[in-house]
Amino acid sequence: MKLEVSRARPDDNGDILSLLSTIPQPGAISLSFERSPNYFHGAAISAEDPEVFILRTPEPKAQSTLGIFNIGTRRLFINGELQRVRYLHDLRLDPSVRGTRALGMAFQTTREMMADDELFQAVVLEENHSFLATMMRPRKLMPDLSAKGSIETSLIYGRASRKFQAPSVEIRPATPEDLPAMQALLDEEGPKRQYFHYHDLNELKDPGPWYRALSVSDYYLIFEDGELAGLAGTWDQKPFKQTRVAAYSKPVRLGRPLYNMWAKATRGMPLPKVGGCLSYLTLHTVVIRNHDINLLRMLVNALLQGPARDYDAIACGFFTADPLSHGPRSFPRRTLLSHHFIGTWGREHRPWIDPKRIPHADIARL
141 lies in the same domain as 72: yes
Helices vs strands, H then E, count in the chain: 7, 17
The better pLDDT of the pair 98, 105 is held by 105
pLDDT at 144: 86
CA distance 246 to 342: 30
CA distance 65 to 266: 44
The neighbour count for residue 129, using CB atoms within 10 Å, is 11
98 lies in the same domain as 219: no
Q: How confident is the model at residue 27 (pLDDT cuts 50, 70, 90)?
A: confident
Average pLDDT rounded to a whole number, residues 117-146: 82
Average pLDDT rounded to a whole number, residues 214-240: 98
Q: How confident is the model at residue 61 (pLDDT cuts 50, 70, 90)?
A: low
Which region holds residue 156: left if phi is over 0, alpha if psi is between -120 and 50, else beta? beta
On whether residue 184 sits in a domain, the answer given is yes
CA distance 297 to 197: 23
140 lies in the same domain as 175: no
On whether residue 204 sits in a domain, the answer given is yes
Average pLDDT rounded to a whole number, residues 237-251: 96
CB-based contacts of 183: which residues, under 8 Å, 6+ apart?
199, 200, 201, 202
Indicate which CATH number applies to the domain containing 185: 3.40.630.30
The neighbour count for residue 217, using CB atoms within 10 Å, is 15
200 lies in the same domain as 132: no
172 lies in the same domain as 288: yes
99 lies in the same domain as 68: yes
On whether residue 205 sits in a domain, the answer given is yes
CA distance 266 to 288: 30
On whether residue 57 sits in a domain, the answer given is yes
CA distance 35 to 363: 15
pLDDT at 145: 87
- The C-alpha R_g of the chain, in whole angstroms, comes to 21
Give the DSSP H or E segment for 74.
Answer: strand 73-78
Structural domain that includes position 90: 4-150
136 lies in the same domain as 231: no
Rounded mean pLDDT of the chain? 93
On whether residue 69 sits in a domain, the answer given is yes
Q: How confident is the model at residue 58 (pLDDT cuts 50, 70, 90)?
A: confident
pLDDT at 62: 58
CA distance 248 to 31: 9
pLDDT at 138: 64
On whether residue 245 sits in a domain, the answer given is no
pLDDT at 212: 96
3-class state of residue 239 by DSSP: coil
Of the candidates 284, 154, 277, which has an alpha carbon nearest to the alpha carbon of residue 218?
A: 284
332 lies in the same domain as 230: yes
Average pLDDT rounded to a whole number, residues 37-59: 94
Mark which of 115, 131, 150 sits at the end of a domain: 150
Task: Look at 69-73, 110-114, 291-295, 328-332 and tell me which has the smallest mean pLDDT.
Answer: 110-114
Mark which of 119, 150, 181 sits at the end of a domain: 150
pLDDT at 60: 63
State how far the alpha carbon of 35 is from the alpha carbons of 6, 43, 127, 262, 280, in Å.
20, 8, 21, 31, 16
Helical H runs in 35-97? 39-46
Mark which of 150, 174, 192 sits at the end of a domain: 150
Give the model confidence (pLDDT) of 317-357 as tens digits: 999 999 999 999 999 999 999 999 999 988 788 889 999 99
On whether residue 9 sits in a domain, the answer given is yes
117 lies in the same domain as 139: yes
On whether residue 264 sits in a domain, the answer given is no
CB-based contacts of 155: which residues, under 8 Å, 6+ apart?
269, 278, 280, 313, 314, 315, 333, 334, 335
127 lies in the same domain as 168: no
Q: How confident is the model at residue 228 (pLDDT cuts 50, 70, 90)?
A: very high
CA distance 313 to 326: 18
29 lies in the same domain as 173: no
Give the model confidence (pLDDT) of 187-211 as tens digits: 999 999 999 999 999 999 999 999 9
The better pLDDT of the pair 47, 28 is held by 47
Q: How confident is the model at residue 131 (pLDDT cuts 50, 70, 90)?
A: confident
Q: Over pLDDT 90: what percentage of the chain? A: 81
pLDDT higher than 70, residue 48: yes
Counting the structural domains of the chain, the total is: 2
pLDDT at 79: 97
209 lies in the same domain as 146: no
Q: How confident is the model at residue 63 (pLDDT cuts 50, 70, 90)?
A: low
Average pLDDT rounded to a whole number, residues 49-77: 88
What are the two backbone dihedrals, phi and then psi, of residue 349, each rounded to the nearest 5 degrees? Answer: -110, 20
Q: In DSSP terms, which residues pair with 227 in a beta bridge?
A: 224
